[in-house]
């Protein structure tokens, strides 16, 4: 059993080294790319998320607004309406699963580590966490982050937390 476990440990170490190498390459590309750097200034968006956004999003001009972009990512509520009654369900989950997951993880990091983000964004999500379930607040923050990402890409301006 010991030789088998040693072999598995060696495989895990090799995979960890490969992941570290790929992360370094992503960070190097991110630092050299003029379109990626402004995205990482958004709280909850790092080099990995910024590079994935640029690689996956067809272009900011495809979307008329940040809401369309958030809907494309699947971060808006599903609707089930009939007879004048509107029912809002969970998120639609219709977009890119990987990008949505990255944004939700970034939003979760903001809500769990309030000191690591600008106070305005944290001030926005804290009252929501008091009224709603924590996961609902995280998805709402991910939606807001997606809209911010679209605005930064569409306007070609750096992120300004005061807006």
Report which of 70, 63, 62, 61 is spatially closest to residue 96, judged by C-alpha positions: 70
pTM more than 0.95: no
Positive or negative, the Cα torsion across 5, 7, 9, 11? Answer: negative
Dump pLDDT digits (tens) for 18-32: 999 999 999 999 999
Burial code (b: 16+ CB inside 10 Å, e: under 16) for 79-118 equals eeeeeeeeeeeebbeebbeebbebbbebbbebbeeeeebe
pLDDT band at 12 (very low <50, low <70, confident <90, very high): very high
- pLDDT band, residue 94 (cuts 50/70/90): confident
SS3 label, residue 17: helix
Contact 147, 66 (CB under 8 A): yes
- For residues 108 and 43, the answer to whether their CB atoms sit within 8 Å is no
The two tokens of residue 68 are 């369309």
Lowest model confidence (mean pLDDT) among 28-42, 66-80, 134-148 = 66-80
Half-sphere exposure of 29 (CA within 13 A, CB side): 15
Per-residue pLDDT at 14 exceeds 90: yes
Answer for the pair 159, 41: CB distance below 8 angstroms, yes or no: yes
Please state the rounded mean pLDDT for residues 80-90: 66
What phi, psi does 58 have (nearest 5°)?
A: -65, -20
Is the pLDDT assigned to residue 3 strictly greater than 80? yes
- Rounded to an integer, the average pLDDT of 142-157 is 89
Burial-class residue 152 by CB neighbours within 10 Å (0-12, 13-18, 19+).
buried
């Amino acid at each position: 059993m010991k030789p088998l476990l040693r072999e598995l440990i060696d495989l895990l170490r090799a995979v960890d080294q490969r992941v570290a190498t790929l992360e370094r390459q992503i960070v190097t590309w991110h630092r050299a790319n003029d379109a990626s750097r402004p995205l990482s200034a958004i709280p909850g968006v790092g080099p990995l998320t910024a590079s994935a956004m640029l690689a996956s999003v067809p272009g900011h001009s495809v979307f008329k607004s940040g809401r369309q972009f958030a809907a494309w990512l699947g971060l808006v509520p599903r609707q089930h309406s009939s007879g004048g009654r509107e029912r809002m369900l969970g998120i639609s989950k219709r977009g890119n699963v990987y990008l949505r997951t990255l944004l939700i993880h970034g939003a979760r990091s903001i809500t769990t580590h309030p000191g690591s983000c600008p106070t305005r964004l944290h001030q926005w999500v804290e009252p929501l966490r008091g009224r709603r379930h924590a996961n609902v607040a995280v998805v709402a923050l991910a939606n807001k982050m997606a809209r911010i990402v679209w605005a930064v890409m569409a306007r070609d301006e750096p992120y300004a937390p005061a807006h």
